[in-house]
Structure 1
Amino acid sequence: MLCCDGKVFMCRLLWLCTQQCWAVPGVLQWSGPGSYTVGTMSERFDCHYCRDPLQGKKYVQKEGRHCCVKCFDKFCANTCIECKKPIGADSKELHFKNRYWHDSCFRCFKCYTSLVNEPFMLRENNKVWCSNCTAAEDAPRCKGCFKPIIAGDQNVEYKKMVWHKDCFTCSQCKQVIGSGSFFPKGDDFYCVSCHEHKFAKTCAKCKNPITSGGLTYQEQPWHSECFICSNCKKQLGGKRFTAVEDQFYCVECYKECVAKKCAGCKNPITAGFGRGTSVVNYEDESWHDYCFKCTKCARGLANKRFVCHNGKIYCAECPKRL
């Protein structure tokens, strides 16, 4: 696998100087892809560089020139990009995009596995990586264990952060949250149970945590389903109600079960719910303020002098006319 500009291609590395063949009868040569040949000189030739005779000796022919092995290594050999040493005529050479390696140097930069005839990635600084190390290096890192999350791993993502599924745990009880529900608090994460015990408000009635919704009455929190009419059991959230001795009543139940009956009109006295907000009390009876009036002249008597005669209410003048 050869990689260039971030793309991956399947290919095979080219081997130079590894195949034995007989190019000329009586001369053993090593053939590469047109770069040079190696053999034993049977004719009278001198080294192109040092002028030593080559007959009967191993030589290298490159670009029409014959040279001894020593001069080839010094003047002609490619330099291994990994170890920076010449790749001699007797060495196996690998190349890719004008880069050269000894076959023994062509190893993964990370795990040192030989990559001869194996998939690889050429990365920065001309370092080669195996496919496994490349995948691990480029993979996102788990915020819990800081190890790479590779393809196939189950993971949890939240606000551009990622965890292995088993690394995403409750900050309080340390149990795995995984893909379950959780509550974030700053840099911490809590399972539902721990969040309820640590942060949730407690209902004034049932004393259990309020995890969502709820309401407040007189600075006390309530579950919506706990804040109900004491008589009909209907929820009172968002509705008109009245409180009597720590009991709550909707308007209808208050009128029917709790409110006093007006001695004048015989209807419930529901101060704050209807016409009139004042109540007149006399002895054991009560009136709406607008119902407390003279029996004879019908003058309103709330906050005024009145006379009670034979169980009836009169203004101060009317009893004189009786």
Structure 2
Amino acid sequence: MKVVHFYKLFFLGMDVNAYLHRVGITATTAPSVVALRELHRQHLLSIPFESLSIHCGEKIILDHGLLYEKLVVKRRGGFCYENNGLFLWVLQVLGYKPRVLSAKVKNTFTGVYGPPFDHMILTVELEGRQWLCDVGFGEGIREPLPLEAGWEEEQDNLVYRLREDQGEWFLETNKDSNWSSLYKFTLEAKHFEEFKEMCEYQQTSPSSFFFCKSFCSLQLPRGRLTYMGHRLIQTEFTENGEVVKTTQQLKDDEILDVLRNRFGIVLSGKFVPKDEELLPATYD
């Protein structure tokens, strides 16, 4: 409990119990794999992955106090630096010892990997193993994965594996019997502050998914609910292993109601929906 009180003082106004209430956890235990799995899953089921700030005039600044205010107090969501940045603080408060890593996302539209610091992920050492944590990726893992080359695991109808090649690690998913890469990373530890430049890039570049697409996505117990541009997409994982998607077209005056009623998000600035093609970009 001492560590919790320390962080309450250090991050003025930030209370880890408010976060736990936000994600539907009523009590905490000492750090363990079981507790980490619950934290990870409940975060994804409660806090959306979204780019809405970029499209309603809000500047995203990588500051733990501001992230707490947005995601916990205002009950919003955020992109990877925000979700994983908040989760980093939570894990520290609860007695875990997370490490920050940099990942390069494989763009599903262009097939090109992003630059360094394109994506932020975390690892935690528990019970003799390293665990990959990521609560800031739309189609990513729902629970931590053991950081072991060749590890495969099914999570809610999606199969993930970790592959290692000459010091680079790849998180891959199996779709239609084919493995495809989500992102790659190395195990070199980074600092949260090092992602600030790429956070600015993601908000302003026409090669950024977040700049080109206004979206909000929330994991469901057996699927996913996603708003993008003028569409509302419901993804359901059926008991027989199928993935069923339904799409509803939205009018401009319906979008804010959908965000409020389906995601619990109320925007304060003028919102401009967007769903444009990304400009191609290449990186060294």
TM-score (ref. length: structure 2): 0.18
Structure (1/2) with the larger helix percentage: 2
Higher relative contact order (CA 8 A, sep 6+): 2
Tell which structure's C-alpha radius of gyration is larger. 1
